[in-house]
Homo-oligomer: A and B are copies of this chain.
Amino acid sequence: MPKAIKKIGVLTSGGDSPGMNAAIRSVVRTCAYHNVECVGIYRGYEGLIEGDFQLLDARSVRGIINKGGTMLKSARSKEFREKEGRQKAFRKLSEASIDALVIIGGDGSFTGAMIFNEEFDFPVIGIPGTIDNDIVGTSNTLGFDTALNTVVDAIDKIRDTASSHNRLFFVEVMGRDVGHIALNVGIAGGAEEILIPEEDLGLDRLVESLNRSRKSGKTSSIVVVAEGDKIGKNIFELKDYVDQNMEGYDVRVSVLGHMQRGGPPSCFDRVLASRMGVKAVESLLEGKTNYMVGLMNGAMELTPLEMAIKGKTKINLELLRVSDIMST
């Protein structure tokens, strides 16, 4: 029979995403609701190794549900990748009488959590916090919905100036391995083309398609490019190629960058974070470990961490088709 859980630690790890604070708040309040102590661990696994802990009660997470970023800060930790680092972490947890961990982060963070669980039989539950929406076991990662709205708002603004000047804009959005952000904002932003890592359109076909769109009477265009797209070595080379191979377009580049990670979370992400925090804590209290909480068909479900980190979620092919039809 597993030891009763009296004290739960919570940390955020990897790139931050909107909704992480709302998830921390939910973890803390669910602990309070169940009369379990909750400890905030600063700077991810780094703070775990250093014992950078602080007891959190229901009041200490007031006013953070609508704040971007993470009050616990986040970091990447080389030391935690080594056995020795993880041993230090385990020692710190034992000293602080922490019985279980909630890890808010992406697949890298979950891999660490899984190894830690295996080595020390320490209860862990993951909450998927990343704007990339690339984690198996949940239809939405925390922050994805917010990032989509942030990017679409930026594209709307760029559209204003593009259509005032008959320009072609390449807009780079986040997504190193997967095109979820690009595909959604491309449709929502009315992009003429969407370039994603999963599909290599090829430069010739891109130019051909832009020429066709031009001839059909469009005088300005937006092409959404995922960071990890393979079509050019980078977005500036893409611009140069089009500049040299197309006439009559004034081509510009906009790299949206880190603003995509910030801002107040959307309603959806706040509610999702609140649900995930409850599910994570209550799963630990029920003796579950080594799972990730996720949203599946509208309900909170558990997925083994091992499955969550295996591969990336696939692009929805229906969306690709919708995008093609919309740019008719």
* Interface size bracket, A side: 35 or more
**Which among B26, B149, B297 is the interface contact of A297 at CB below 8 angstroms?**
B297
Give A108 Cβ to nearest chain B Cβ, in Å.
14
Which of A67-75, A93-101, A111-119 lies on the face that meets chain B? Answer: A67-75
Q: Mark A311-328, 1 if CB is under 8 A from B, else 0.
A: 000001011011001101
B residues within 8 A CB of A139?
298
Given contacts A161-B16, A254-B258, contact A266 B149 (CB under 8 A): yes
Which of A83-91, A194-202, A271-279, A286-294 lies on the face that meets chain B? Answer: A271-279
Q: Is the CB of A298 within 8 A of B300?
A: no
Number of copies: 4
Check if A249 is an interface residue, CB within 8 A of chain B: no
Check if A160 is an interface residue, CB within 8 A of chain B: yes
Check if A145 is an interface residue, CB within 8 A of chain B: yes
B residues within 8 A CB of A190?
65-66
Q: Is the CB of B157 within 8 A of A268?
A: no
Q: Mark A248-292, 1 if CB is under 8 A from B, else 0.
A: 000011111111111110111011001100100000000000000
9 pairs, A vs B, C-beta closer than 8 Å: A20-B164, A29-B328, A33-B325, A58-B328, A69-B161, A157-B258, A157-B261, A161-B258, A268-B268
